[in-house]
Amino acid sequence: MCINGYAAFYNLLKLKMTDQPDITIGIMDRKAEVFGGLHGNFHGDGLGYVSGHFSARAEAGNIIFFDEVHREIRRSPLIKLAAPEGSTFSLFNVPIGKRFHWERTEDQIFQGDLILQMRGDGTIAVINQIPLEDYLKSAISSEMNSAAPMEFLKAHTILSRSWLLAGLGRKKKIEKTSMTSGETADGERILWYDLEDHDLFDVCADDHCQRYHGITKIASRQVEEAVGETQGRVITFQDQICDARYSKACGGLTEEFATAWDNKRVPYLSSISDAPVPYPPIRTEEEACRWILSEAEAYCNIKDEGLLEKILPKGDRETKNFFRWRVEYSREELEEIIRKKSDLDFGTLKEIVPIQRGSSGRICRLKIVGSKRSTIVGKELEIRRWLSRTHLYSSAFVIATRRNPNGEVERFIFNGAGWGHGVGLCQIGAAVMASEGFTVEQILKHYFRGVEIEKMY
């Protein structure tokens, strides 16, 4: 069944779905060649039954599909391979953590159907089609360690399901040509990235949407249980499924929706204190400085390595000191990074000035001043991208400089707070809350104020 058929109903709780929808996930995109293996007898139009190793190559508007003895068995712009019950397929060298500091490639195994689709630019999109609840099992296992506390896994399942259904409903409503971001008339570079960026599939498999690294990471019965026990459940606000966002660690205060995405107020995505004590939202530069340079007590301020090990998947445990962090560059090094990332030549860097911050201290407009030009960059992800060879942990930072006797900057020092955009649920904070005995409902209502939990199917 097709997801789009349901899209119109997502935001109308009165019309509940009778069954879970299928979703399409872009596993790899814009590839010239694809290599993998079919574990079972897959069936495709025009190629009958096929199994074993395969490869596919883009050539003159077609995808050429080769079987395991490298015999061409199909030539078409669209190749759809339906999986028989209980079978899987592998894809080799799948890139993960694209452009982030944890970037690498992996061989991955998937359930469901495999679709290879030709793009207009002569490259191949590799798509997996799978029922939503099966997708969730893998996505939860990829995002967090399946040994994390049960109430946390359930909370994450409910929010991932909500985010996905709300996003698909919204995507249907938006015209393909609509701009989600862009350059303003006075030369500001204000960009953000959202679900609307995908055309041939519903979501991608990487951090941009929600991590989905195949079934290789489904290690525990706990995730199966978390998905099974919450089946069809979502969080809602005023009868609409919530666009439930989340990030790794808020840093003690969560962020508002508009700091990371579109300039609109989403009531259940406002800034909250992620601690047993109420911290007020950040309003001034002085408050931002004091907050970021402090070691506030917060759910995500966790030093217990044993608990962190249970919460985070292996790749993420290499990220240390995410609650408060520090990055330093020589001026020349930062000039080179910014030139490469922005495609703009600022000349000699003079200063970097926060223009606007959200309530967690995350900067959404940052002014970069050089000898040749000055530009304001935003929003939070674009700022993080410009100021690092990969990405800074977050845009909640204060900038210090070291100058030579002539007053010229020699070094830029960034002291920061948190990991990710900070909007919605704080994954590490929520896992800590679960380990302290909070229930799934208490956790969801702590991060998403005013919401209800409802069953959609």
Does position 202 bind Zn ion by CB under 5 A? no
Give least dist CB 445 to Zn ion, A: 15
Q: Which of 114, 127, 144, 300 binds Zn ion (CB under 5 A)?
A: 300
Does position 213 bind Zn ion by CB under 5 A? no
Q: Which stretch binds Zn ion (CB under 5 A): 167-175, 225-233, 249-257, 353-361?
A: 249-257
Distance CA 437, CA 441 (A): 12
Residue 16 or residue 317: which is nearer to Zn ion going by CB? Answer: 317
Give least dist CB 126 to Zn ion, A: 14
Give least dist CB 350 to Zn ion, A: 34
CA distance to 21, 30, 210, 352, 371, per residue, from 311 (Å):
29, 33, 17, 35, 46
Does position 250 bind Zn ion by CB under 5 A? yes
Q: At which residue do the structure tokens 């709300």 appear?
A: 166
Residue 134 or residue 207: which is nearer to Zn ion going by CB? Answer: 207
Q: Which of 274, 335, 380, 382 binds Zn ion (CB under 5 A)?
A: 274
HEC readout, 270-302: CCCECCCCCCCCCCCHHHHHHHHCCCCCCCCCC
Query: Do 26 and 127 contact (CB within 8 A), yes or no?
Result: yes
**β-pair type (374-378, 189-190):** parallel
Does position 313 bind Zn ion by CB under 5 A? no
Query: Do 61 and 54 contact (CB within 8 A), yes or no?
Result: no
Give least dist CB 201 to Zn ion, A: 9
Q: Which stretch binds Zn ion (CB under 5 A): 201-209, 216-224, 306-314, 442-450?
A: 201-209
Q: Which of 208, 183, 212 is CA-nearest to residue 198? A: 208
Distance CA 176, CA 171 (A): 9
| 3-class DSSP assignment, residue 142 | helix
Q: Which stretch binds Zn ion (CB under 5 A): 7-15, 29-37, 95-103, 419-427?
A: 419-427
Give least dist CB 372 to Zn ion, A: 34
Does position 208 bind Zn ion by CB under 5 A? yes
| 3-class DSSP assignment, residue 154 | helix
Q: Which residues of this protein are in contact with Zn ion, per CB under 5 A?
A: 204, 208-209, 250, 274, 300, 426, 429
